[in-house]
Amino acid sequence: MSAGKTACPPVKQQPRRMAFEKQRSADEQIQQNLDTGLAAPSHSSWASPIVMVRKKDQTYRLCVDYRILNERTIKDAYPLPRIQDTLDTLSMAKWFSTLDLASGYWQVELTPRARQAAAFCSRKGLFEWNVMPFGLCNAPATFQRLMDRVLAGLQWEICLVYLDDIIVLGKDAKEMIQRLAQVFERLRQANLKLKPAKCCLFRRQVIYLGHVVSEEGIGTDPQKVEKIREWPQPTSVNEIRQFVGLASYYRRFVRDFATVAKPLHDLLRKNARFQWTPESNQAFEKLKELLTTTPVLGYPMDHGDLILDTDASNFGIGAVLSQLQHGKERVLAYGSRGLTLTERNYCTTRRELLAVVEFSAHFRQYLLGRPFVVRTDHSSLQWLINMKEPEGQLARWLEKLGEYDFKVVHRPGRQHENADVLSRRPCRSNCACSLNEPSSSSPQVCHQAVQCDFDIGPGNDGTGNANPEFCPVGVVQPVMTASTASFLGWTAEELRSTQATDSDIAPIKRWIEEGGERPPWGDVLPYGPATKAYWSQWNRLYLKDGTLVRRFYLMEGPEFYPQVILPKVFRKDVMHQMHDGPVGGHFGVERTLSRLQSRYYWYQMREDVTLWCRTCASCAAKARPTKTPQAPMGTVRVGAPMERIAVDLMGPMNETERFNRYILVVQDYFTKWVEAYPLPNDQAVTVAEVIVTEWVCRYGAPSTLHSDQGSNFESCVFQAMCELLGIEKTRTTPFRPQSDGQVERFNATLQKILATTSERCHWDWDLMVPMAVMAYRATKHSSTGFTPNMMLFGRELTEPADLVVGLPFSETSAPTPPQYVAEMRERLGLAHQIAREQLGRSVERAKKQYDKNVARTHYKVGDAVWYLIKGTKRVQNKIRKFLPAYEGPYFILGHLDDMVYRIQKGPKTKVKVVHHDKLKPYHSRQPLENSWVFKSLEAWQPQEVPTPSLGANFSDLDLGLTHLFAEEPVNDSGMEQVPVLDVPMTKQEDRNVQCGEGSTVQPSQPLTVNGQLGGRPQRVKRPPKWFGDWTD
């Protein structure tokens, strides 16, 4: 072995102290190596210390710490064979023989230079190796190069070699004898000696590189598996790392290894605190069980179709590579890995495609250059792979897959062995996988179909195609006629005529009516970006009763429902109806957009909806301020409808004409179905009666009822009701409404809806409650991915806006009662199954978001802001919870420091000094006039203020400062609001005098007046009346 060292100066280390027993063993082994010629005394300038390592038989092995030497060594890049490639080469063998060299490293001599560098020291002196020792970083590469040269021409055909482990292959005993003779001759010529005790000849099954190798396939080494079975529970991060490292060696034998081992990998993250949880223990035991019951994997063969089964879950992706061999499907390898934080935000289709891309590359050496089948339970991949105009990340992925020869085959989930039931949720990025949009418009919501086993009629696209695996989600609903008055203020006939005059839509509609063929790009070039975007989606556009509509494809299969291409003049109407209207509910961007997408479509729809919601003055004024969490969030898991419900009371409020003063809110944890009952009082008898007659009689008795510690919920009457119905009663902790966070969050939503719906809600609020609850139940819940209507009834309820476009699949014939029951059971079962996993992810996502702080916004002079007035104003005959939380717009005049700002509503209004936490940005639908702010700053320049002498009296001080301002600012309480002025003292200089809120007058301190802040003078507070007692 040649050293190949750098020109670094030699490093000399001192011998390390050892226990007497170790030292005696070291002396004996060094002397033995000297006697056998393996080592010799040295005069080298290098010196590395020895270490004694205890072996299993409690004796010690002599080792050398070469870490510093290895750092200064130029690394040998000679490659070692990949273990997987070595094992795959054994496919045609039936007989095996394994050979092991006797102390293989010690059969390699060192060059004089390498001997000098590898010198080691002990208390006996300095020594050097004559043969190659263990521990040198270039030793494996050197030995592998030697073995490759010795067995050149035989390796990969007759035998395989990995360092000092040799395996000879043969189809029968005769061939094995011939091949062994060739290998022995090569070893004899190189003067390499074998260790007979470790050689196994003429075996049908051998252990090679930690695997059991036979004609049938490859299995795990029973000895190593036994170590895993007996592995004790880890007590430190290092022990976890050791276990995961050993288990990862056999990860190709374990399906979904990354997903199973995720809790253990989480403990190995940087800065992660070691805490052994039940999830960690479950993953630990599960891995031990899987590794001790691993299958025998087959060898890849030159003939036989290859099959790649892929799967994606919320935390990882996995795949199974198999091959048809002799009429049977044999598993060749399993693969899996975890998802990054970014990849976890992908929608289901994108994650499924990621699995195909990732594991096509992972098994590239098997798949490249030969046809194979990609088998998935996600049917959308069939058309996604063949998308004609992909963009962005999707285009890059499809380009990577372009070098493979494969076809996608859909297999239902119940037959897909590797597929878990995956929850479908919206993709938070520009997701072409759900929309197939080539335009730059914003991301849309991915919709999904519900599987069933009944045939449906032809689709409404005129093609006559039908997919028996899917049935319509909506109910049969008549489509609006031309004479029907629209709930939105315009009819279907007006919609058709307006489309024909809209500058963006009219050309597309005209071209479709004329011939149906997409015109060339040159004809579209003069038109705007919206027309170009519609033109690029030509295959998804068609006419329905003279109205231009767009196919909105469902995530599962080719089914779709129509979206009306909405002209510009109607967009504000529908956004107002879906957001500001009586059944709008003033929901956020995602919920409002989801409701609109089920009926309409236009270019840059998300941008318009986002702007509309952000500029809603009612939403901004009545949005409640958020608070920084002080403790991590606790979670509750449920898995069935009406299993756990939460109840709460809102009020007291203004008494209505129907004598109602309270609202009883009842919500199901699983389906998110909610009911709100106006009540005349909050007595326990009234509450219990409503729960029994209105909820239990309609939906059944829940298993658990959760409430706060209100006296009405803790009374004997309420407790008796729960005992009688067999309901387990739980309650929140004192002063912790977050313990009942779900119903508390709905209370805030209901308050917002009632407060933004009508000014009369202060007196007739009980009339608006049913409409507000209806709006909430018709919007998709982020936790489940479905609306409460769908979760409870298996279908969506009809809304007024549906009178315009009708519901999807309106031509479908009504099923018979038995069919309807079966369809409903199938539909609800799948929806609930998806919702359960979606709820699990939502809980984790909400907890992570709740425990995270949000960066603070910085305001500049002239910025428009909202000012928090919650709790500062009292209005007679008004319900406090219905009052706006913010007032505005105010404008920033400047800041006193990083947290305190000066704001003013108008040029003639009072100036307020407020904290940053009471402000939030103001977004307006119209430009705001704020030029007066800068004019006022220019006119209000600071004037020079004379500094009074140390003995100045109060009148001198007052005359020297008050001329700066014509009027002192007054706050809401009527008290003067001015900054603090530090004033000198001449009496009792050892005392401090409080001079106004938060200020301290220091003795013998020269008077300084800060009259300039951000280009404006600072107001000065007059000294108190007792100031004269402290001055001369």
pLDDT tens sequence across 952-964: 333 333 333 333 3
Tell me the C-alpha distance between 162 and 1014, whole Å.
75
Q: Assess whether pLDDT exceeds 50 at residue 625.
A: yes
The mean-pLDDT minimum among 658-667, 826-835, 979-988 falls in 979-988
Using H for helix, E for strand and C for coil, what is the string for 599-611? CEECCCHHHHHHH
Write down the pLDDT at residue 757.
63
430-440: average pLDDT: 40
Measured over all CA atoms, what is the biggest interatomic distance in the chain, rounded to whole angstroms? 122
Q: Assess whether pLDDT exceeds 90 at residue 125.
A: yes
Tell me the C-alpha distance between 448 and 428, whole Å.
16
Burial tier of 681 (Cβ tally within 10 Å: 0-12, 13-18, 19+): middle
722 pLDDT tier (thresholds 50, 70, 90)? very high
Residue 918, CA distances (Å) to 351, 856, 869, 928 in order: 41, 12, 8, 21
Write down the pLDDT at residue 33.
92
Q: Assess whether pLDDT exceeds 90 at residue 219.
A: no
Tokens of 566: 């909405």
Write down the pLDDT at residue 489.
61
Residue type for 418, please? N
Task: Determine contact, residues 142/113, Cβ cutoff 8 Å.
Answer: no
pTM: 0.37
Q: Assess whether pLDDT exceeds 60 at residue 975.
A: no
Tell me the C-alpha distance between 686 and 574, whole Å.
40
Q: Ranked by mean pLDDT, which of 109-118, 367-376, 931-940 comes out on top?
A: 109-118
Q: Ranked by mean pLDDT, which of 250-254, 356-360, 757-761 comes out on top?
A: 356-360
628-645: average pLDDT: 68
Nearest to 827 by CA among 473, 379, 558: 473
pLDDT tens sequence across 272-327: 778 888 888 888 888 777 766 666 677 677 778 888 888 888 878 888 888 887 77
Tell me the C-alpha distance between 116 and 528, whole Å.
78
1012 pLDDT tier (thresholds 50, 70, 90)? very low
Write down the pLDDT at residue 634.
55
The mean-pLDDT minimum among 162-176, 247-261, 782-796 falls in 247-261
Nearest to 611 by CA among 659, 575, 559, 662: 575
492 pLDDT tier (thresholds 50, 70, 90)? confident
pLDDT tens sequence across 838-863: 666 666 666 666 556 555 677 888 88
Write down the pLDDT at residue 758.
53
805 pLDDT tier (thresholds 50, 70, 90)? low
Mean pLDDT rounded to a whole number for the chain = 74
Residue % of the chain over a pLDDT of 90? 12
Task: Determine contact, residues 905/889, Cβ cutoff 8 Å.
Answer: yes
606-614: average pLDDT: 88
Which residue blocks in 758-894 are alpha helix, DSSP H? 761-777, 788-793, 802-805, 817-850
Q: Assess whether pLDDT exceeds 80 at residue 947.
A: no
474 pLDDT tier (thresholds 50, 70, 90)? very low
pLDDT tens sequence across 901-912: 889 988 888 888
Residue % of the chain over a pLDDT of 70? 70
Tell me the C-alpha distance between 795 and 625, whole Å.
35
Query: Which residue(s) pair with 212 in the sheet?
Result: 207, 219
Write down the pLDDT at residue 443.
35
Write down the pLDDT at residue 394.
79
pLDDT tens sequence across 3-56: 555 557 888 999 988 888 889 999 999 999 999 999 999 999 999 999 988 877
Domains of the chain: 20-215 (3.30.70.270), 219-291 (3.30.70.270), 306-355+364-435 (3.30.420.10), 473-622 (1.10.340.70), 864-939 (2.30.30), 942-1032 (no CATH)
